[in-house]
Amino acid sequence: MNSRIARFALSGYRIAGVAAYPFARPYLMYRATKGKEDKRRRMERFGHASADRPRGPLVWFHAASVGETLALVPLIREIRKRDIHVLLTTGTVTSAELSRTRLGDDVIHQYVPLDIKISINRFLSYWAPDAAITAESEIWPVTMMELERRHIPQIRVNARLSDRSFGRWQRHSEFAEALFSKLALVVAQSDVDAERFRDLGSWPVVVSGNLKGDTDPPPCDAALLDTYRRQIGNRKTWAAISTFDGEEKAAGTVHNAIKSRDGQLTLIVPRHPERADDIEAMLKGMNLTVARRSRNDVITPQTDIFLGDSIGEMGLYLRLTELAFVGRSLTAEGGQNPLEPAMLGCAVLSGAHVQNFREAYQKLLRSGGGRIIRDVEMLAKAVHYLLVNDNERYKMIDAGGKVIQDMRGALSSTVKALEPYINPLTVTAKLQPRSAVG
C-alpha cells in the first residue's frame, strides 16, 4: 500500500461513515436496550453537547473504557490544578459512572462522538479544545483527520500497542503511517511500546512508565464494607474479577471443587454487569446459592457466590478478599489490569492470555506477587493452596505491594513531557476571567 492508496483508504473510511450515519440512531437505541448506552444522553454520540463550554483553555481527554479512565484520573487532576478546563469523553456507561464517582464536577463528561465526520465536526466546533489527549491504543481515523485539519495537537499518553494490534498495523504500514504521524507526541508505557509507535510513524515518542501505577486505590463505602465483613464472618474468600464469558463458570467450578474442604465464599465480579441475570442462572444450574449486590442480598452462611453486579464498586469487592483471579485471561484474551488488586492487598492469579498488560504481569511474576494458571484445575489448586497457606498468600501480597511502589513515577514523567503543550494554556488560564459561556 503506497501513500496514495493510504489516502484513498482514509477517504473511503470517511465516506463509509457518512453512509452509515442514518443507521447509527437505531443501532445506538438497540445498544441502549442492552444497557450499553445511556438512552438519555445518546445524542452526545452524534456530537450534540449537553453542557456549556466554559470560557478559557480546555483540554479534551478521551478514555475508551474503565481501565483507560482510571489511568487518566491522576493526570486530569494535575491539569485541573492549573485551572485548565477538562472535557472527558468515554465510550461506556461504566466508565461514565467512574468519571462521576472519581472526578465529579472537576471535569465535564460527555460520551465520545461517533467517528463520523458530521458528528466529529459538530463536537469539535462546539468544544474547540486546545489539545486532545487520548489514552493507550484507540485509533479513530476521522477524528484524527479532523483534529489535524483544525491544528489541534493530538497526544497519546500511557500509550501501548499489543502484539496483535502492532502486527495488524504493520501489515498496512502506509495506512498506519498516515494516521500515527498525526500524533504530536506519544508518551509510551514501555520501551517496547515506544519502539512500536516509532515504527508506525509516530514522532516524538518518550517513555514514562504505566500511569496505572500512580492511580489511587479504588474507593468504597466504609459502612457497606463493614456490613459485608460482618455477614461474611470468619469465612475465607477469593474473588474472580473483571470476568468474561466462560470465566464465571470456571469460578463456579473452582468453588464446587474446594468448598467441602475450605467452606469459602467466592466473589464473582463480571466485567459487564448487564450479564448478571445469565450468570446467576448459570451458577444456580451448578447448584450454587447466589447473593447479588444489585439486590442488596444478605450473605448468609449458605451463600456460595456473592455476585458483584454493580458499577464502580471494585474497591468494595477487593477489600473483601486477599486473593483475586483477574479475568479476560483464561477463556478470553488480552487480560485486565492486575495493579488494582495488588494495590489493595490481594495476591494475584491470572490465566496466560495477558498480552495487553504484559509489562505489569512480568513485574508481578518476577517479584512473586502474581501467578499464571493454565486451566480450571490449576486455578482450583492455586486457590485452595493460597486460602489455607496464609504465609504464602502474605508473601504474594507483600511482593505485589512492592511492585506498585516501584512502578510509581509515570505521572510526573508524563506531566513533564506535556509541558510544551500545557504551560501556555496555564498562563492563559490565569489571565482568563472565570465565567462560562453557553
Q: What is the CATH number of the domain that holds 234?
A: 3.40.50.2000
Query: 1 pLDDT exceeds 80?
Result: no
With beta carbons less than 8 A apart as the criterion, state whether 208 and 275 touch: no
The pTM of this model reads 0.83
Q: What is the set of active-site residues?
A: 68
pLDDT-derived band at 8 (thresholds 50, 70, 90) equals low
CA dist list (Å): 290 to 153, 185, 279, 353: 50, 49, 10, 28
For residue 73, give every residue at least 6 positions away whose Cβ sits within 8 Å of its Cβ, in sequence order, or none. 102, 103, 215, 216
- Same domain for 102 and 154? yes
- Same domain for 191 and 262? no
- Same domain for 203 and 228? no
Residue 184 maps to which CATH number? 3.40.50.11720
Classify residue 231: in a domain, yes or no. Answer: yes
For residue 331, give every residue at least 6 positions away whose Cβ sits within 8 Å of its Cβ, in sequence order, or none. 244, 245, 246, 247, 250, 351
With beta carbons less than 8 A apart as the criterion, state whether 400 and 337 touch: no
Classify residue 77: in a domain, yes or no. Answer: yes
pLDDT-derived band at 241 (thresholds 50, 70, 90) equals very high
Classify residue 232: in a domain, yes or no. Answer: yes
Residue 101's SS3 state is: helix
**What is the average per-residue pLDDT within 176-187?**
95
- Same domain for 263 and 350? yes
Classify residue 367: in a domain, yes or no. Answer: yes
Report the b/e string of 104-132 with b at 16+ CB within 10 A. eeebbbbbbbbbbbebbbbbbeebebbbb
pLDDT tens per residue across span 381-394: 999 999 999 999 99
- Same domain for 101 and 159? yes
pLDDT tens per residue across span 17-76: 666 766 677 777 777 777 778 889 999 999 999 999 999 999 999 998 888 998 999 999
Report the pLDDT value the prediction gives residue 436, as an integer from 0 to 100: 45
With beta carbons less than 8 A apart as the criterion, state whether 370 and 350 touch: yes
- Same domain for 419 and 367? no
Q: Name 349's bridge partners.
A: 325, 371
Domain of 141? 3-209+409-430
Give the count of domains, the chain. 2
Residue given cell 517496547 in the structure block: 192
- Same domain for 276 and 357? yes
Backbone angles phi, psi at 317, to 5 degrees: -65, -40
Residue given cell 489539545 in the structure block: 131
- Closest to 396 in 3D by CA, of 354, 430, 348, 361: 348
- Closest to 348 in 3D by CA, of 395, 305, 311: 395
Q: How far apart are the first and last CA of the chain?
A: 46
- Same domain for 265 and 395? yes
- Closest to 307 in 3D by CA, of 255, 246, 266, 259: 266
- Same domain for 191 and 235? no
- Least confident stretch, 90-99, 302-311, 339-348, 421-430: 90-99
Going along 70-196, which residue ranges are E strands? Answer: 85-90, 108-111, 131-135, 154-159, 185-188
- Same domain for 202 and 229? no
- Same domain for 234 and 117? no
